[in-house]
């Protein structure tokens, strides 16, 4: 099939590569180069880099405006495929490809419609993650679904690890759906169940509340790592929690926010058991081993997370 592809981050690259191996990609749409790192160097998106490696035509656009619509319409694509592009496809672009657009979404729709489905699922402690390929419509992630697949994600995975796993499974599922659309065997069905929403995370979503049980604290850490970053405060300064796992039960339980240094890091108490933090990033500094950071504190007896 003649396809147009839209995507931006690394999680979209497996689908791009899978489709490029089987179909004719007439154009790849991605967001413009963005400043990255401390030196704010303008850097192409992962999708732009992969598309150029594949020798594909790349359209860099912050918005899918009239100019982009005209360029895509002139290519006479049969189908559009979108994976985490970072913008909304509206008519007339939505109707430009002969068979419209399909979207790979990283949830089991209609649960977690929106920009941060994996992150919200982890924060809420969902027992099951998955991917869906659906027909794009004007309403947010509401189109009929061609295929869904539950995906086994390693226990205790943070959002970036979970997304990497889902991206690979989602690429294979999307390729199957495109093949089905090409040969006429694909059938889409209305979504079943009550929708839940997954809005984009803010910095505030990363705040760890030590008065909650360990499961809830760890779930929020997982869902907000690496972005926007799980964090707490110490004497009013933000401390980012870069790596953490549930600690073994203690004989003398720590109170919420109470801290204790260990050989491998720092224990922080919750309403139940403690979280063991192994890497931190103090405000204005780089990430470091939590045990080293703890040894550098002058008065550890007075430190309390969340203060």
What residues contact 112, with CB distance under 8 A and at least 6 apart? 118, 120, 121, 196, 197, 198
Q: What is the pLDDT of residue 55?
A: 97
What's the CATH number where 113 sits? 3.40.50.170
Question: What per-residue confidence (pLDDT) applies to 288?
Answer: 96
The model's pLDDT over 105-152, given as tens digits with 9 standing for 90+, comes to 999 999 999 999 999 999 999 989 999 999 999 999 999 999 999 999
Virtual torsion, Cα 108, 111, 113, 119, nearest 10 deg:
-80
Identify the CATH number of the domain in which residue 211 sits: 3.10.25.10
Domain assignment present for 38: yes
Same domain, yes or no: 169 and 210? no
* Residue 236 near residue 205 (C-beta atoms within 8 A): no
- What band does 35 get if pLDDT is binned at 50, 70 and 90? confident
Which residue segment(s) compose the domain that 276 sits in? 203-302
Q: Is pLDDT at 70 greater than 80 in this prediction?
A: yes
Please give the pLDDT value at position 163: 97
β partners of residue 260: 267
Within-domain flag for 141: yes
Q: What is the pLDDT of residues 169-197, one digit of tens each?
A: 999 999 999 999 999 999 999 999 999 99
Averaged pLDDT of the chain: 95
Where does a domain end: 153, 183, 213? Answer: 183
- Specify the number of domains making up the chain: 2
Please give the backbone phi and psi of residue 267, each rounded to the nearest 5 degrees, phi first. -90, 135
């Amino acid at each position: 099939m003649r396809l147009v592809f839209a995507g931006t981050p690394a999680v979209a690259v497996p689908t791009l590569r899978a489709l490029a191996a089987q179909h004719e990609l007439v154009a790849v749409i991605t967001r413009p180069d963005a400043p990255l790192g401390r030196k704010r160097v303008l850097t192409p998106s992962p999708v732009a880099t992969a598309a150029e490696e594949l020798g594909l035509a790349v359209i860099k656009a912050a918005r899918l405006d009239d100019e982009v619509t005209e360029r895509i319409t002139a290519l006479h694509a049969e189908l559009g495929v979108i994976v985490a592009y970072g913008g909304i496809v509206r008519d007339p672009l939505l109707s430009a490809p002969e068979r419209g657009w399909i979207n790979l979404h990283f949830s089991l729709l209609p649960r977690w419609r929106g920009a941060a489905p994996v992150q919200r699922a982890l924060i809420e402690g969902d027992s099951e993650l998955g991917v869906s390929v659906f027909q794009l419509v004007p309403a947010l992630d509401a189109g009929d679904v061609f295929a869904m697949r539950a995906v086994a994600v390693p226990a205790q995975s943070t959002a970036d690890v979970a997304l990497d796993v889902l991206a690979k499974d989602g690429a294979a599922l999307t390729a199957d759906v495109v093949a089905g659309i090409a040969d006429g065997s694909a059938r889409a069905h209305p979504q079943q169940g009550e929708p839940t929403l997954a809005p984009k995370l803010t910095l505030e979503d990363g705040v760890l509340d030590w008065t909650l049980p360990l499961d809830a604290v760890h779930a929020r850490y997982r869902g907000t790592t690496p972005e926007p970053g799980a964090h707490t405060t110490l004497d009013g300064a933000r401390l980012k929690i870069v790596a953490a796992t549930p600690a073994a039960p203690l004989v003398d339980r720590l109170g919420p926010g109470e801290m204790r240094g260990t050989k491998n890091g720092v224990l922080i108490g919750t309403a139940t058991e403690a979280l063991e933090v192994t890497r931190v990033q103090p405000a204005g500094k780089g990430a470091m081993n939590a045990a080293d950071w703890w040894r550098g504190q002058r008065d550890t007896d007075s430190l309390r997370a969340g203060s």
